[in-house]
Structure 1
Amino acid sequence: MLTSLTIKNYALIDHLQVNFNDGFTIITGETGAGKSILLGGLSLILGKRADLSSLKDKNVKCIIEAVFNVSNYNLKTLFQTEDLDYESQTIIRREILPSGKSRAFVNDSPVNLNSLQLLGERLIDVHSQHQTLQLTQNNFQFQVIDALAKNERELESYVVELTNYKQLNVDLEQLNALKANAIKEYDYNAFLLNELVEANLVEDELESLEEEYETLNNIEDIKAHLSEAYQLLGDEQIGVIAIMTNLKSSLSKLSELSSKYEELYERVNSSLIEIDDVFSEVDAKQSDIEADPMRLETVNAKLQTLNNLLQKHQVSAVSELIEIREALTEKVGITENLDETIQNKIEAISKSAEKLDAVAKTISSKRNKAIPNLIAQLQAILSDLGMPNAQFNIELSSTENYFSNGKDELSFLFSANKGGSFNALKKAASGGELSRIMLAIKLILSNYTQLPTIMFDEIDTGVSGEISNKMADIMLQMSKNMQVFSITHLPQIAAKGHSHFKVYKEDVDNVTQTKLVKLNHDDRIVEIAQMLGGAELSTSAIAHAKELLN
């Protein structure tokens, strides 16, 4: 509910701050006093676009701030979706800068107009005789029936499953498209994969093959160098081992003569041992190395295969070829298993459709049971509102289509006159009739669901005194479950309010300003008497005003 409203520097309002209570609130004032300005300011809070003409003083920013108690509105999910901080006492502020730009804040967090509109429509419903188009819209008509049918839980289940059903169908379309493309690419991918599989790729294999190739390809040079090393080391006359053996013998004799030569002896002896080991290894390698033309041909062929594959796939390492092989394996595997995947998806869609059909059937059944109750209540209320011959013909027809709220199509027909033909509401009802039908529907809805604050803007225009009493009773009854405002010119309605505000104009320093004041009991008597008999207060008008208030 709206608990307070502050308006600064907007149109004819210099500064206005007012607190509101729950229940039924009346706003009255002479034509042109500024009631439309008040609604205009409130509409900015609800997300209407603003412009520089809204500023009273073009050099000062306009600020409109409203405080709402939202604890009973189940808005936490909306706040979370719109990334807003939830507070049970929520403050919405709108600023229009002298530059013409505007800013909006919810609990001091900046928001865009779209978020503000989403929140605003859940907080206040401004309803005038010219704003009954909603009543003729199919979605709204379904909302009314579903409220009476208590379909909230079923509709939530339906929406969740419908989302799943749509996603499954999107997945199936993508799989079928993938299959069509995959069939074209399958043969080529399978050929590439076969090449890579036959290559028996081993990571880091290229380096070892290149080394083995160099060895096999230069086998004669290697044998010659090994033979030369063998001769240099093992020749009996001039070989390194013979020379080192003689050197060791000489130093051995020196070390026997003096211990200071012992270290030299040990070093030469150690070197001789190492050289002798080298000699043995050279000898062994001479024995091991053999020319192998077949192996050379095999290694060369494998290297050519690897280099061709590297060039073909434009990569530089065997590890990258392995990655390509794995990717191709997956692609070819997907193609080969695609029919099974598609069949599984079709079965999942079928199961989802079964769930949707079951929930939609429950929704439809509950709607059909609620419709006679809705028709009876509507016709009874409208009879009290001066439409005794109003009749409704509301029919559901099941379809094979999955709509956003079930599988039903709705025919919501109306006849205002006895014996008259039924037609769509927008064709069969006048503006005044639509307004009263909407009032009846809002009354019914208020008994079944938590509605936002509703503001009736002169919906009583052209209504007789007796009917206005009935309208006032309806608004008063609605206010037991929600906050109701009525901007009215009728004293019969004004007298039924729990609180009463008057909009008026006042000249301050030769500048006209719009102001709003809350009336006490005596002020209300005067205001209602003037509504009854004009500015000149008569005794009968005052007596009548007191009677209405009592």
Structure 2
Amino acid sequence: MLTKLSIKNFALIDALQVDFDKGLTIITGETGAGKSILLGGLALILGKRADLSSLKDKELKCVIEAEFSIKKYQLTKFFTENDLDYDDDTIIRREILPSGKSRAFVNDVPVRLDVLNALGDQLIDIHSQHQTLQLTDNQFQFQVIDILANVSEEVQSYQSILKSYHSTQKELKKIQEEKIDLEKEYDYNMFLLKELEEAKLEGLVLDDLEAQYERLNNAEDIKTNLSSSEQILSDEQVGVLNLLSELQAASGKLAGIAPEFKNLAERIKSSYIELDDIYNEIINLQEEVTFDPELFAEVSEKLQKIFDLQKKHQVLTIEELLSIQHELSEKASVSENIDTLIQTKEKELQAQQKQLQQLAKTIHDKRAAGIPTLVQQLESMLATLGMPNAQFDINVQLSKEFYANGMDDLQFLFSANKGGNFNELKKAASGGELSRVMLCIKAILSKYMQLQTIMFDEIDTGVSGEVANKMANIMQQMSKTMQVFSITHLPQIAAKGKQHFKVYKQDINEVTSTQLKELNQEERIQEIAQMLSGATISDSALANAKELLQS
């Protein structure tokens, strides 16, 4: 509920601060006194766009601030989703700067206007004859029926499954499109995959293959050089080992003559041992080195194949070729199994479709069962508001389409006159009649759910007498469970208020400003008497005003 409102430098208002109570609050005032200015200020709080014309003093900023008690509105999720600080007593502030820029805050956190507008929709419902077009909106009509039919849980479940259903539809369409693309590429991908698989790349090391190729390609040169090396080491006349053996013998004699030659002898002996070991290794290598034409051809072919594949796929390593092979293998697997995947998705879609149809049938049945109650309450309430012949023809028909709230097509038809033809509300009802229908609907809904604050802006235009009394009673009854504002010209409605404010203009230093004042009991008597008799208040008007306030 709206608990506080502060307006500074807005239109004809210099500064205004007021506290509101729960229940029915009445706002009265002469035509042109500024009631629309008050609504304009509230509209800015609710997210309406602003401009410089809103400023009373163009050199100062305009500030409008409202405090709401929102504990009963279950808005914690909304605040979390929009990164706002939640507080049971939430403050919304709009500022319009002289530059023309506008800022909005919720609990001192800056917000965009679309967020403010979405929040405002859940806090205040400003209702005038112009807003009655909402009645003709199919979505609103469904909301009314669903509240009375108590199908909110079923509709939420339906919407959750419908979301999954649409997601599955998209997935199936994507897979079907992939199948078409895969079928186009399948043969070529399989050719590339087979080519890579035949290369048997797993476990291959390119450096090892290249080294093996060089050994095989140069086998004769290797063998010749090894043989020459063996000859140099082992020749009986000039072989290095024979000469080194003689050197070793000589150094051994020297070591026996004097100790200083011992180290030299040891070094010569080590060199002989190392060269002898080299000689033996050369002998072994000579036995291992052979030229194998078949193996050489095989290695040459494998290397060429790898180089060709690297060039074709524009990569530099065997690892990259193996990665491509893996991708092609996965594509082939997907292509071969895609029909199975499509069948699985189709079964999933059919199961979700069956769930939706079952839930939609439950929703339909509950709606159909709740409609007579709505019709009865509407027609009964409208009869008390001077529309005794008002009749509704409301029915739902199951369709084959999955809509956002079920599978129902809704007809919400109305006839204002006895024997008249039923037609759509916007065609069959006048503006005043639509206002009374909306009042009745809001009154009925208030019995079934916690509605936000509602402000009726002169919806009683064209109403008088006993009908005005009945309208006042309906608003008063609604105010027992919610906060209700009524901007009215009717004394019968004004007298029912728990609080009563008067909007009026005041000239100060030849400057006109709009004021809002809460009336005490005596002031209320005077105001209602004036509403009854005009500027000149008669004794009978005063007596009538007192009677109205006591009723």
Give the TM-score range, shorter chain. Answer: over 0.9
Partner residue of 1:87?
87
Aligned partners of 1:204 and 1:319 also within 8 Å: no
Query: How many Å separate the matches in 2 of 1:77 and 1:148?
Result: 25
Aligned partners of 2:384 and 2:467 also within 8 Å: yes
SS of match in other structure, 1:162: helix
- Taking the TM superposition and a 5 Å limit, the aligned residue runs for 1:356-435 are 356-435=356-435
Alpha carbons of structure 1 residues 495 and 257: separation in structure 2 relative to 1, 3 Å: farther
Query: How many Å separate the matches in 2 of 1:157 and 1:203?
Result: 55
| Bigger mean CA offset, 308-317 vs 6-15 | 6-15
Structure 1 residue 158 displacement after superposition = 0.4
Partner residue of 2:452?
452
Query: How many Å separate the matches in 1 of 2:127 and 2:367?
Result: 26
Partner residue of 1:283?
283
Residue 489 (structure 2) pairs with residue 480 (structure 1): no
Partner residue of 1:124?
124
SS of match in other structure, 2:486: strand
- Taking the TM superposition and a 5 Å limit, the aligned residue runs for 1:74-223 are 74-202=74-202, 205-223=205-223
* AA at the equivalent of 1:82: N
Structure 1 residue 55 displacement after superposition = 1.4
Aligned partners of 1:203 and 1:319 also within 8 Å: no
Query: How many Å separate the matches in 1 of 2:358 and 2:218?
Result: 81
Residue 319 (structure 2) pairs with residue 319 (structure 1): yes
| Bigger mean CA offset, 335-344 vs 43-52 | 43-52
SS of match in other structure, 1:275: helix
Query: How many Å separate the matches in 2 of 1:240 and 1:21?
Result: 119
Aligned partners of 2:104 and 2:113 also within 8 Å: yes
* AA at the equivalent of 1:99: S
Alpha carbons of structure 1 residues 302 and 448: separation in structure 2 relative to 1, 3 Å: same
Q: What whole-Å deviation, never above 9, does each CA across 1:114-162 have from its counterpart, x for those lacking one?
A: 2111111111111001210110111111100000011110011000000
Aligned partners of 1:7 and 1:63 also within 8 Å: yes
| TM-score, normalised via structure 1 length | 0.97
Q: What whole-Å deviation, never above 9, does each CA across 1:88-127 have from its counterpart, x for those lacking one?
A: 2222222222221212222222222221111111111110
SS of match in other structure, 2:37: helix
Aligned partners of 1:203 and 1:318 also within 8 Å: no
Structure 1 residue 438 displacement after superposition = 0.3
| Bigger mean CA offset, 332-341 vs 525-534 | 525-534
Query: How many Å separate the matches in 2 of 1:33 and 1:246?
Result: 134
Residue 345 (structure 2) pairs with residue 345 (structure 1): yes
SS of match in other structure, 2:448: coil
SS of match in other structure, 1:72: helix
Query: How many Å separate the matches in 2 of 1:183 and 1:54?
Result: 65
Q: What whole-Å deviation, never above 9, does each CA across 1:342-387 have from its counterpart, x for those lacking one?
A: 0111100100011101111111111011000000100110011111
Aligned partners of 2:506 and 2:512 also within 8 Å: yes
Alpha carbons of structure 1 residues 237 and 434: separation in structure 2 relative to 1, 3 Å: same
- Taking the TM superposition and a 5 Å limit, the aligned residue runs for 1:30-41 are 30-41=30-41
SS of match in other structure, 1:49: coil
| TM-score, normalised via structure 2 length | 0.97
Q: What whole-Å deviation, never above 9, does each CA across 1:310-335 have from its counterpart, x for those lacking one?
A: 11111111111111111111111111
Residue 521 (structure 2) pairs with residue 531 (structure 1): no
Aligned partners of 2:392 and 2:412 also within 8 Å: yes
Aligned partners of 1:472 and 1:493 also within 8 Å: yes
Structure 1 residue 261 displacement after superposition = 4.2
SS of match in other structure, 1:67: strand
SS of match in other structure, 1:57: coil
Alpha carbons of structure 1 residues 259 and 481: separation in structure 2 relative to 1, 3 Å: farther
Residues matched between the structures, number: 550
Structure 1 residue 81 displacement after superposition = 2.6
5+ residue gaps, structure 2: none
Query: How many Å separate the matches in 2 of 1:237 and 1:13?
Result: 127
* AA at the equivalent of 1:15: A
SS of match in other structure, 2:130: coil
| Bigger mean CA offset, 18-27 vs 382-391 | 18-27
Query: How many Å separate the matches in 2 of 1:109 and 1:261?
Result: 97
Structure 1 residue 273 displacement after superposition = 2.5
Partner residue of 1:334?
334
SS of match in other structure, 1:202: coil
Query: How many Å separate the matches in 2 of 1:286 and 1:156?
Result: 86
5+ residue gaps, structure 1: none
SS of match in other structure, 1:132: helix
Please identify runs of 4+ aligned residues in structure 1 that moved more than 6 A.
none
SS of match in other structure, 1:381: helix
* AA at the equivalent of 1:396: V
**% same residue:** 58
Partner residue of 1:355?
355
Structure 1 residue 534 displacement after superposition = 2.2
Cα RMSD after superposing both structures: 1.5
Structure 1 residue 525 displacement after superposition = 1.6
* AA at the equivalent of 2:501: F
